[in-house]
Amino acid sequence: MAKVRLENITCNFDTVTAVDEISFEVPDGEFWALVGPSGCGKSTILRAIAGLEAVTAGNLYIGNTLVNTVPARERDVAMVFQNYALYPHMSVFDNLAFGLRMRQSDRTTIHQRVETVAKSLDITHLLGRKPGQLSGGQQQRVALGRAIARQPQVFLLDEPLSNLDTQLRDDTRTELKQLHAAIGITTIYVTHDQTEAMTLADQIVVLDGGRIQQIGPPQIIYAQPANRMVAAFLGQPPMNILQASYDQGLFCLGEQALPCPPALLPLLQSAHGQNLHLGIRPEHFQAYTSSHLAPSPHLPAEVKLVESLGRESLVRATLIDQPHQVINFFIGTDLSARVGDYLYLHLDLDHLMIFDAETGDRLQPARD
Ligand SMILES: Nc1ncnc2c1ncn2[C@@H]1O[C@H](COP(=O)(O)OP(=O)(O)OP(=O)(O)O)[C@@H](O)[C@H]1O
Ligand SMILES: [Mg+2]
């Protein structure tokens, strides 16, 4: 096991800067997730750590060793690729055993390790098959198993569960968490799936355009996003972002006005007349069928879509007179809403976030 440290890492492909001066350190034994939109540089970072991509600038350490020029095979990292590359001519058993044989482990160790890993990933019945005889999800589990069987210093996992169905994905995620708890190998995990990032990771790194937007524990990233990009990226459905202008302690959204919570007033001393973006998560709206019932402050909205999720429904509505302002929120089974209905949305202002409309940065009290 080893820590992994990136110091001002940049990776260019011709004119494209895929990774732009990135620095972070994953302590020995921790599980970190890299998240961000497609093309933000996640795979490039993993490939650079694995030694499959040269870094253009910066220093990369595994343990205390500077590995910029160390060949991939000498880095003792195992990577599961986004498009899991299995050896097509080898059986599943041989694929799983490959890394161990390369390290000249003895026969008994190899058999034991392969059987344990195959059992934990539920692929024991596939050990005699070739990759071409497996489904996409089965191949993905073999690729994961091959990395696990080797027990390297560092795991680099690039969307390792993306081809699994929901049930298998949940099961494998639990397996991964238990496995990490048991063997504690330093792991860097790339995913599009927020649930995976939120449930598995000690720390999440949010990337956009090759740059780090925020690093932090999942709950902090969710509750205290550094900017609008991070706020809108994590959460399903994402945080609602409303355009408003600020004047004398009030946020104006067309005809509607919301009072600024006292705690946020100091942030807005020089913001009079300024355009701002207000962020509020779907779970912080409470819907009422009449304006008399709805506590202040509330916003009137017209229902555009209702999706039943079983225990609750997800409603998409637009502010009255401002059809470009879309709000997603949940309603319980006690309230029925149909397309065209008007609802009155009470906001919990304690959870309101304010973003600079230009830069996207969150205006946050100093205690954050
Ligand atoms: N070999 C390459 N040559 C040129 N450009 C590349 C190469 N590999 C990646 N890129 C570019 O670098 C950027 C980052 O790519 P990368 O594969 O790291 O993104 P990603 O975050 O893994 O995306 P995804 O979520 O779609 O897998 C993209 O703009 C991509 O087009
Ligand atoms: Mg990728």
User: By the 8 A CB rule, do 186 and 63 touch?
Assistant: no
286 occurs within a structural domain: yes
Ligand 1, CB cutoff 6 Å, lining residues: 13, 16, 18, 38-44, 82
Q: Which residues pair with 158 in a beta bridge?
A: 190
CA angle 108/109/113 to nearest 5° reads 120
Q: Are residues 212 and 300 in the same domain?
A: no
Verify that 127 and 23 share a domain, yes or no.
yes
CATH number assigned to the domain comprising residue 110: 3.40.50.300
Q: Which spans in the chain are helix H? A: 42-50, 92-102, 107-120, 136-150, 166-183, 194-200, 218-223, 228-233
Residue 58 sits in the same domain as residue 15: yes
Residue 368, in any domain of the structure: no
Give me the domain span that covers residue 243: 233-363
- Closest C-alpha residue for ligand 1 atom 26: 38
DSSP secondary structure letter of residue 73? G
Tens digits of pLDDT across the chain (368 residues): 799 999 999 999 999 999 999 999 999 999 999 999 999 999 999 999 999 999 999 999 999 999 999 999 899 999 988 777 899 999 999 999 998 998 888 999 999 999 999 998 889 999 999 999 998 888 888 998 998 898 899 999 999 888 788 888 888 888 888 888 888 899 999 998 888 999 999 999 999 999 999 999 999 999 999 999 999 999 889 999 999 999 989 999 988 999 999 988 998 988 888 999 999 999 999 999 999 999 999 999 999 999 999 999 999 999 998 999 999 999 998 998 999 999 999 998 989 999 999 999 999 866 54
For residue 47, which atom of ligand 1 is closest to its CA?
Answer: 18
- Out of 6, 34, 42, mutate this one to test ligand 1's pocket (max ligand atoms within 8 Å of CB): namely 42
CA dist., res. 348 & res. 215, Å (int): 27
Do residue 104 and residue 250 come from a single domain?
no
| Domain shared by 136 and 258, yes or no | no
Bond from prior residue into 297 cis (ω within 30 degrees of 0): yes
Ligand 1 pocket: which of 13, 163, 191, 213 to mutate (most atoms within 8 A of CB): 13
Nearest ligand atom owner, CA of 207: 1
What is the CA(41)–ligand 2 centre distance, in A?
7
Domains contained in the chain, number: 2
- Ligand 1: which residue has its CA nearest to atom 13? 18
Ligand 1 centroid–CA 34 distance in Å is 14
Two tokens, residue 266? 């100091």
77 near 156, Cβ under 8 Å?
A: yes
pTM over 0.85: yes
Query: Which ligand is nearest to the Cα of residue 13, counting in written order?
Result: 1
Query: Phi then psi for 50, rounded to 5 degrees?
Result: -70, -15
